[in-house]
Structure 1
Amino acid sequence: MRADKHQNKKKKRWTSILLVFLLLIGAVTGYVYFQFKQGVNQSLKKLNKDNKEENVVYTFEGQKDQYGNTNILLLGSDARGKEKSRADTIMIAHYNEDKGTFKLTSIMRDSYVEIPGHGKHKINSAFARGGPELMRQTIKKNFDIDLQYYAIVDFQGFVQLIDEAFPKGVEIDVEKKMSEYIDVTIEPGLQRLDGEHLLGYVRFRHDAIGDFGRVERQQQVIKAIKEQLSGFQTITKLPKLIGVVTPYVNTNIDTSDALFMAKDFLSDKGSIETFRIPVENSFTEPKIKGEGDVLDLDVQKNKEALHQFIIQ
């Protein structure tokens, strides 16, 4: 009899624990969904619904690379949803799930490479010719790296994300005055930049080093964002931040996968490692008829350097 009572008490205790556990899961799920939808609605209110274009639905035959990494093709564009626009920014985020770490490769848009079915052209034209799938094929052909996901980010999404995540701005040490062709004026010195000014900073390229300086600034800003976003408070804001940027992004990444990877991006203690194609002493800069100034790559040298960067 006593044994039966003891058994019943044990069952009730475990039932109570299970119930509390399920309630906690439900509360967390509800919080995540509410924050995500709040971010989405916040951005939708800022979009002109009459002029808002539907995202183009792309096929993308991606997979993990030969090292088991998840590689994400990141494309920055001014013309959201328009297939014929060239990619203004081309990056690859390399995510190692086992280590929870990220690396970042920038491919300069004037890199002159073989585009499958189209001959040699600047790599940024691959997007205009065949969307992210042709860009994936181009990167695979020239550098032998597979890409599993893509994300085409409208620059206004970048602005909204920065303003939501950093109400006081992102701290950047601006090296010189910048104003040409970026719609804002940025003064030199250590300061906090809001979304519009930070976008101008990463897009500026009208100086002596042109696109090389711009790629360097883009990588610098991503490192600064990672360092200044890190912390528990930011992780709790993740659902809303992803919601804020979602209306501005065309991607094949599920929201749950985006949250999982973003969590590791923010919780990784180390500084993010960056890489640039072309590497030093691996290209010439001829002028090609119909293309203008290009970066003609030593493809083998750049491919070997990229693989070494990924596996080290």
Structure 2
Amino acid sequence: MGTNDYQKGPRHGASQSGSTGRRSSGASRPHREPLQDNYYYEAPPRGWKEGDAFQDISSYSSPAKRRADQKAMEEQRRSTQRSGGRRPQKSSSQDIYSNSRPVKKGRPKRWGVGKTIVALVLVLVIAVGGSVAYMLSGLTMTSIPKSDSALGIQAGAMSDSQITNIALFGLDSREDGSTGRSDVVMVLSVDRRHHALKLTSILRDSEVSIEGYGYDKITHAYAYGGPELAIKTLNQNFNLDIRNYVTVNFYQMAEIVDAFGGVDIQLTAEEVYSLNENLWNLSQESPGSVVSSDFIPNVNGEIDLINGPYQDGEYHLNGNQAVAYARIRHLDSDNVRASRQQTVLQALLTSLKKKNIFQLPGLVRKVFSVCETSLNVGDMLGMSPIVFGGLNLETLSIPGEEEQAYGATLDSGAWVYEYDLTAASQHINRFIYEEESPYYTGAE
């Protein structure tokens, strides 16, 4: 590699500065290019266009000759006035030293290509600015400390100016105003170096160290200290460089899926049964949030939550159904549950790619209206080309096989996943930074 634009350790705010050219003061002089015979061509006058004659003053071999030519031109002008204003034929030589310019009449002013492009860019900037203001109008934007110490970013944490890590938290808030646990804990890496979006899911029951609270489930960090402590917990336990976050409530997630028009997902018969079961539980937790049409009928076209039977196949899920699917847990394991959450996000990304440019502002505004983030407008605009590009979502679930996770019980009686956090940190590091990572051994 040449000059590295990534660095190990904390990112510094110092910027490189180079010399800036200054335009010399004083009046500008017309550029003249010497010819082999020491005559000159004058610089083209203002208004000169490609194809117009370049003013040849090579005949001015002496000041006397120039004055003679100018006198002849003046006599020609007076003769024209006496003849009633008829235009004389063009002379082979013109007074290029005079500041006077003929006035063009009867012809509308035309914009040059340069002005047209500038005007177009200006209109687009205004239009985009208006769209951005429209899209961001419902987004809750917050501010958190960004220093290494505040967010627990360690000296050995890998960072790359071309890769931005963002914490994603899906909150399990039962009531408005309550902080809730982060039932979903993910890290989205916007990778401009490798032109990829990478999503790392960390199981909510992972046992980690939470500053001020000892060892506990990672899902509890958000409830204890909000997004700042949740980010700090991720950075400290997995040696990451995360400085921003996005949160969405599970119930708001349903609104996002509905805004996209639903998602198409392949389901097994067992998953359909569990999905309906979760819809029933959701209806009890939040009365009125689920309607009868949300339940998926069995093979006989009936809504029967007890007898079924259901069938495998691709189903078009609305918001409530997608959330119920993502919350399926008791059917298998938390690992599979995490993969279902990733499946929903992948389906949303697939749906996003099918939207046309006129649908995006309203869609983005709807999504933003149910989100909270510490990202600023500049951050989001900088990432939009890759987020809205034709890219696939790469995923990783932690713990995986190499972390060798096992179940354990805390003193409080809570069940957790225990695994090698150092191995997990190296695994995530390889996944995000690829060949730039010191732990990279080849294609994952």
In structure 1, C-alpha distance between the alignment counterparts of 2:183 and 2:169, rounded to whole Å: 7
Which one of 344, 353, 364 corresponds to residue 242 of structure 1?
Answer: 364
The 3 A distance-change label for structure 1 pair 129 and 204 is same
Match of 1:293 in 2: 415
Q: Which moved more, 1:115-124 or 1:239-248?
A: 239-248
TM-score (norm 1): 0.81
Q: CA RMSD in A?
A: 3.1
Query: 1:106·1:215 contact (CA, 8 Å) conserved in 2?
Result: yes
Q: Alignment partner for residue 170 of structure 2, among 64, 76, 80?
A: 76
Which amino acid in structure 2 is aligned with residue 67 of structure 1?
A: S
Q: 1:106 deviation in Å?
A: 0.5
**Partner amino acid, structure 1, of 2:320:** E
CA distance in 1, matches of 2:394, 2:147: 23
Match of 1:180 among 277, 282, 285: 277
Measure the CA separation in 1 of the matches of 2:142 and 2:127. Answer: 34
**SS of residue paired to 2:216:** strand
* Partners of 1:117 and 1:36 in 2: CA distance: 35
The match for 1:272 is 393
Q: Would you say the 8 A contact 1:159–1:195 is kept in 2?
A: yes
Secondary structure of 1:146 counterpart: coil
CA distance in 2, matches of 1:61, 1:32: 24
Deviation at 1:60? 4.1
Q: Following superposition of structure 1 onto structure 2, how do residues 142-153 of structure 1 map, counting pairs within 5 Å?
A: 142-153=237-248
**Distance (Å, rounded) in 2 between the aligned partners of 1:247 and 1:12:** 42
CA distance in 1, matches of 2:384, 2:191: 12
Identity %: 29
For each residue in 1:47-74, what CA deviation from the matched residue of structure 2 results, as whole angstroms up to 9, or x when unmatched? Answer: xxxxxxxx79563436796231211110
Structure 1 residue 147: deviation in Å? Answer: 0.6
Aligned-partner Cα distance in 2 for 1:91–1:22: 39
Counterpart in the other structure of 1:18:
118
Distance 2:116 2:142 in 1: 47
Structure 1 residues 59 and 5, CA, compared in 2 at 3 Å: closer, same or farther? closer
1:32-47 equivalent positions in 2, closer than 5 A: 32-34=132-134, 37=137, 40=138
Structure 2, unmatched stretches of 5+, are: 1-43, 50-100, 283-293, 297-309, 435-444
Give the Å deviation of 1:116.
Answer: 1.7
SS of the aligned residue for 1:135 comes to helix
The alignment of Structure 1 onto Structure 2 pairs a total of residues equal to 292
Q: CA deviation at 1:102?
A: 0.9
Residue correspondence of structure 1 range 202-213 to structure 2 within 5 A: 202-207=326-331, 209-213=332-336
Residue of structure 1 in register with 2:315 after alignment = 191
Q: Give yes or no for contact 1:151–1:249 (8 Å, CA) kept in 2.
A: yes
Larger Cα-atom Rg? 2
Q: Which moved more, 1:131-140 or 1:251-260?
A: 251-260
For structure 1, which segment, 132-141 or 79-88, has the greater mean C-alpha deviation from structure 2 after superposition? 79-88
Contact 1:60 1:132 in 2 (8 A): no
The alpha-carbon distance between structure 1 residues 296 and 255, as it changes in their structure 2 partners (threshold 3 A), is same
- Find out whether 1:261 has 2:383 as its counterpart: yes
Return the alpha-carbon distance in structure 2 between the equivalents of residues 223 and 273 of structure 1.
9
Determine helix, strand or coil for the equivalent of 2:159. coil
What's the CA shift string for 1:244-278, capped at 9, x where partnerless?
Answer: 12232121112453354344123133x21111111
Letter in 1 for 2:327: R
- Is 1:170 the counterpart of 2:255? The answer is no
**Conservation of the 8 A alpha-carbon contact between 2:142 and 2:373:** no
Give 1:59's aligned residue: 144
Which structure has the highest helix share of the two?
Answer: 1
- Tell me the alpha carbon deviations over residues 48-105 of structure 1, each in whole angstroms, 9 at most, x when there is no partner: xxxxxxx795634367962312111100113277464211111110111334321000
**Offset at residue 110 of structure 1 (A):** 0.5
What code does the residue aligned with 2:412 have? G
Secondary structure in 2 aligned to 1:286?
Answer: strand
Which letter does structure 1 place at the counterpart of 2:406?
A: T
The alpha carbon displacement at 1:139 in A equals 1.3
Q: Deviations over 1:139-162 (max 9, x none)?
A: 122110011211111223322222
- Deviation by residue 1:101-153 (Cα, 9 ceiling, x = unmatched): 21000111110111122211111111111111111221122110011211111
Structure 1 gaps of 5+ residues are 44-54
Name the SS of the counterpart of 1:124 in structure 2: helix
Once residues 127 and 146 of structure 2 are traced to their aligned partners in structure 1, the CA distance between those partners, rounded to angstroms, is: 36
**Kept after mapping to 2: 8 A contact 1:33/1:239:** no
Compute the TM-score of the two structures, normalised by the length of structure 2. Answer: 0.59
**Letter paired with 2:313:** G
Could you tell me which residue of structure 1 aligns to residue 204 of structure 2?
109
Query: How far apart, in 2, do the equivalents of 1:58 and 1:34 lie?
Result: 21
Higher relative contact order (CA 8 A, sep 6+): 1
Question: Which SS does the other structure have where 2:375 is aligned?
Answer: coil
